[in-house]
A and B are shown apart, each in its own frame.
Chain A
Amino acid sequence: MNDSSSLRTGFPLTFGLDTFGDVHSDETGTLNSHAQTVRNIVEQGVLADSVGIDFFGIGEHHTYDYPLSAGDLVLSAIAARTRNIHLGSAVTVLSSDDPVRVFQRYSTLNALSSGRAEVILGRGSSIDSFPLFGYDLSDYEVLFEEKSELFAELLKGSPITWTGTTRAALKDQDVVPHLEAEPFPTWIGVGGSPQSVVRAARHGYNLILAIIGGSPSRFQPFSNLYLEALEHFERPAQPIGVHSMGHVAETDEQAQEEFWPRYLEVIKHVSKTRGFAIPTPESFRHEIGPHGAIYVGSPETVARKIAANLRVLHASRFQLKFGMTGLPHTAVMKNIELYGTKVIPLVREILGSES
């Protein structure tokens, strides 16, 4: 039924930027401090709002390279200085957090921003938060299942009654602050686990496909699985989003020159911790081409690729993970500006004229 590439109707196209709190460098090439990194993210969020970007997301990380462990605080600082942009996690590692606490923090952000909060929940297969908070990585499946179930209850509003094995039971518990209107949009971020896709549909969460390598079209079966599962659980239609990394500059050449050396550094590090071979310039060229997962280039190049993949994946939301570690702050700000003023209007134009 959904084999072809078509834009799903019924959901507005929305475009976001995601950061993991990557440490950038200043004009002299020196890496910024953690404190400066945190302050710069507020500036990035404010700029994103001013150039018309729909969503700004912060991914929870707990490492030296990504010092963004308390993203919701940063989001509230952005909320105080912006009017339109939606603000959310990308992702919250729910497995090693307390769903009640996550609800409290994001319901507070929702109040502060007058209804602009969103949450993306992730199971979290990256190791950092589990030992930090005393969880066993081999429990991630039960932790995420129970906690995503409880979070769905919390979104329905108080009083909450819930029992499970991973946190204290709740009986007719009032959890505050109450929502003013509709629950904030909540998504589950999925990297390739079909169980997580079905879970998202079962609990009525929106779906974000995190595509960090390889051909985006290989995720089409996951979109189909989600749509089929929504029907199966008799849920209303819900939107699908895509999260991928990239970098936009004035020209393809400039974007590649800025991105590649930093990407190589980061990926060398990741390869080492994951036991992977290091990618080559050829594999990078493939990743930034039409069949790869990375969006690097001029506004035209990036817009075309976004439009094509939104269609293939039946998605209405795209979130660009911008600002690779080590890029100069100025290049990062330029990327945000080009994404808002050029890329997004171009994608809308391409998809608008074809739908």
Chain B
Amino acid sequence: MTSPTSTTTLPRIGILGAGHVGPAIGRVAIEAGYPVSIAGSGDPAKIALITQILVPGAKADWPAQVAAEADIVILAIPLHKFRTFDPSLVAGKVVVDLMNYWAPIDGTQQLFEDPRYGSSEIIQQHLSGARVVKSFNHAGYHELEADRRPAGSPDRLALGVAGDDREAVELVAALVENIGYDAVLLDSLREGRILEPGGPVFGASLNKEQFAQVLTAKAAA
């Protein structure tokens, strides 16, 4: 939405996953002026066409390379593949977790069945060297492009950004804002549970005020 004059100052976005969601995020990040790299599970040749047509301007690469070069890693792989994901790839990185766990659709996965934790808290436990931020999970990937609005537009929608590390949260919040959404900051991954499937925000298309009302209602409950 916004078109910054210089792209060199913006952090590099590294997207792991070139399925439904990964390219959709890549596309809007590029249009917001971010440099973007993207990977599937292996050889970049496999996603060359997809990258060229769906994320023009992005660099397709091996997952290790994409992660290593990125300032913000976006983890857009199916949750059932997470067991096989190598945590050392993202050690020291800011990692956006946009993955969702919802057993009726994804089938039951024991790793995420612990009622004490939200799915992003469990991701953070496994990626102990990374700074995990939960965001983008509650918006439909197919609406992401069409729903962007410039800052100040009355119909601009809000996306939640939750994490334990303030600096990481702010980096991701800036990405959200630059893409064309208002960022609503949540102070911990624990609070990010309100963004999960079955919650009041998931799939709801809320603006900033409506989002705030949901948070207030939740706090009062």
Question: Within the assembled complex, what's the spacing in Å between the Cα atoms of A106 and B81?
Answer: 34
* Contact between A274 and B105, CB atoms less than 8 A apart: yes
Contact of B102 among A125, A136, A138, A275 (CB under 8 A): A275
* Contact between B49 and A229, CB atoms less than 8 A apart: yes
Write the chain B residue with the least CB distance to A125. Answer: B105
* Contact between A275 and B19, CB atoms less than 8 A apart: no
* Contact between A214 and B146, CB atoms less than 8 A apart: yes
* Contact between B142 and A218, CB atoms less than 8 A apart: yes
- Interfacial chain B residues near A137, Cβ < 8 Å: 80, 106-107
Given contacts A127-B104, A218-B146, contact A277 B200 (CB under 8 A): yes
- Interfacial chain A residues near B221, Cβ < 8 Å: none
Q: Which of A24-32, A61-69, A114-122, A193-201 contacts B (4 or more CB under 8 A)?
A: A193-201
Question: Within the assembled complex, what's the spacing in Å between the Cα atoms of A48 and B82?
Answer: 47
Q: Count residues on chain B whose CB falls below 8 Å from chain A CBs.
A: 35
* Contact between A225 and B146, CB atoms less than 8 A apart: no
Shortest C-beta distance, B164 to chain A (Å), equals: 24
Question: Within the assembled complex, what's the spacing in Å between the Cα atoms of A125 and B106?
Answer: 9
The size class of the interface chain A forms with chain B is 20 to 34
* Contact between B105 and A127, CB atoms less than 8 A apart: yes
Question: Within the assembled complex, what's the spacing in Å between the Cα atoms of A125 and B105?
Answer: 8
Contact of B107 among A138, A224, A271, A276 (CB under 8 A): A138
Within 8 A of B (CB), among A134-159: 136-138
B163, CB-defined interface residue at 8 Å: no
B143, CB-defined interface residue at 8 Å: yes
Within 8 A of A (CB), among B90-130: 100, 102, 104-107, 109
Within 8 A of B (CB), among A186-216: 192-195, 198, 213-215
A228, CB-defined interface residue at 8 Å: yes
* Contact between B54 and A225, CB atoms less than 8 A apart: yes
Contact of B54 among A136, A194, A213 (CB under 8 A): A194
- What DSSP secondary structure best describes chain A's contact surface? helix
- Interfacial chain A residues near B180, Cβ < 8 Å: none
- Interfacial chain A residues near B54, Cβ < 8 Å: 194, 221-222, 225
Q: Which of B165-173, B184-192, B201-209 contacts A (4 or more CB under 8 A)?
A: B201-209
* Contact between A138 and B140, CB atoms less than 8 A apart: no
- Interfacial chain A residues near B204, Cβ < 8 Å: 277
Contact of A274 among B20, B52, B104 (CB under 8 A): B104
Interface centre among B54, B142, B203, B205 (most CB of A within 10 A): B142
Q: Which residues of A contact B (CB under 8 A)?
A: 125, 127, 130, 136-138, 192-195, 198, 213-215, 218, 221-222, 224-225, 228-229, 232, 271, 273-277, 283, 291
Q: Which residues of B contact A (CB under 8 A)?
A: 18-20, 23, 49-50, 52-54, 78, 80-81, 100, 102, 104-107, 109, 140-143, 145-146, 196-205
Which A-B residue pairs are the 8 nearest by beta carbons?
A275-B197, A277-B204, A276-B203, A138-B80, A137-B107, A275-B198, A225-B53, A194-B50
